[in-house]
Amino acid sequence: MSAASIRLAVTCGEPAGIGPELVALLAHRDSAAHLVAIGDKGLIAERARAIGLNLNVRDWVAGNTASAGVLDVLHVPLAAPCVAGQVDPRNASHVLAMLDAAIDGCVDGCFDAMVTAPVHKGVINDAGVVFHGHTEYLADRTGTAQVVMMLAGGGLRVALATTHLALKDVPAALTAESLATTLRILHADLRDKFGLASPRILIAGLNPHAGEGGHMGREEIEIIEPVLASLRAEGMNLIGPLPADTLFTPHQLRRGDAVLAMYHDQGLPVLKYASFGGGVNITLGLPIVRTSVDHGTALDLAGSGRGDPGSLYTAIDTAIEMVRARKGAE
């Protein structure tokens, strides 16, 4: 697949955050794909002016080809006026409409992948919409029964067996069925979307010292180990369960292509320490390719020009690599 034939949708995220100005910067960055911004074109232009960026915005229509120094924008209008740094629940519908446009474009083949700037989950919920995050929303909109959240950066790939749950709810959510499905999705996408013929996956235990033979919890014995044994019999290369406090060491990491952590804050602090500002959030298991930045809306930086676009650039480059690997596997 030639680079010029790849087209990515890039959503602007929370309009009061740094997303719109980071997206505006894409007009002046060389890319191996045609980037189409999805957002309010007036807001993008306004933020560009605020940070002193000379920006040429063009309404995107199907069939447009990329033009140097021009940002193609699929216009999704704001629902209410927006001030940098000041969230407004009235614009929750605007945020979701951007996501819907990107998802629909990927499903119908107009876009090869979607890249998302950060959203503010609290503001969307304040608007009366139950919203747990991009990952869950994308799964619902594409009719995907289960997806897997994975972050990559700093030489690491870390996927999660459970995502946005209170710590007290994690053990009950960690079932043999869900763990097996997660590992199957992770294995399949490492193969088909990352080009790894026989991926090696390191699996963390849930409890300290991976349960220490049942003295610190029995989830490893009763759930994790039986699932791993079953999937190994299917041909998967699975290593673990390993104590999480020593899993993220160079010796262990050299043994694997990705890590599966049991809960959000077990694996992601390490990943973000290694890569913050240059990491990428990837949703596995979807019928489409989706990547995202690894940071939040940074309301305090909106309109200042001090936002770091590194993670957005990495998310775009990762999406391009995944599209190429996926097309190569078809």
Q: Specify the pLDDT at position 330.
A: 55
- 38-47, 67-76, 90-99, 113-122: which range is least confident on average? 67-76
Four-residue CA torsion sign, 317, 117, 39, 125: positive
**Domain housing 91:** 1-144+289-330
CATH code of the domain containing 279? 3.40.718.10
Same-domain status, 47 and 131: yes
Same-domain status, 163 and 38: no
Tokens of 261: 């952590």
Mean pLDDT of 184-200: 95
Q: Specify the pLDDT at position 3.
A: 44
195-251 confidence digits (pLDDT tens): 999 999 999 999 999 999 999 999 999 999 999 999 999 999 999 999 999 999 999
Same-domain status, 137 and 150: no
What separation in angstroms does the CA of 305 have from each of 27, 195, 218, 225? 15, 37, 50, 49
Mean pLDDT of 131-140: 89
Q: What percent of the chain has pLDDT over 70?
A: 98
Same-domain status, 188 and 213: yes
| Contact present, 116 and 20 (Cβ < 8 Å) | no
Number of helices (H) and strands (E) in the chain: give both, helices first: 13, 12
Same-domain status, 226 and 133: no
Q: What is the DSSP letter of 229?
A: H
Q: Specify the pLDDT at position 68.
A: 78
The number of domains in the chain is 2
Read off the pLDDT band of 253 (50, 70, 90).
Answer: very high
Mean pLDDT of 252-271: 95
Q: Which of 8, 10, 7, 6 is nearest to 99 (CA)?
A: 10
Q: Specify the pLDDT at position 326.
A: 84
Does the pTM exceed 0.85?
Answer: yes
Dihedral of the alpha carbons of 314, 14, 100, 169, in degrees to the nearest 10? 80
274-299 confidence digits (pLDDT tens): 887 788 999 999 999 999 998 899 99
Please give the helix or strand (H or E) that residue 115 lies within, else none.
strand 113-116
Exposure string for 160-194, b = 16+ CB within 10 A, e = fewer: bbbeeeeeeebbeebeeeebbbbbbbbbebbebbb
Whether 66 shows a pLDDT value over 90: the answer reads no
Name, in order, each residue with C-beta under 8 angstroms of 310's C-beta and a sequence gap of 6 or more. Answer: 277, 278
| Cα–Cα distance measured from residue 70 to residue 141, given in angstroms and rounded to the nearest whole number | 31
Q: Specify the pLDDT at position 2.
A: 45
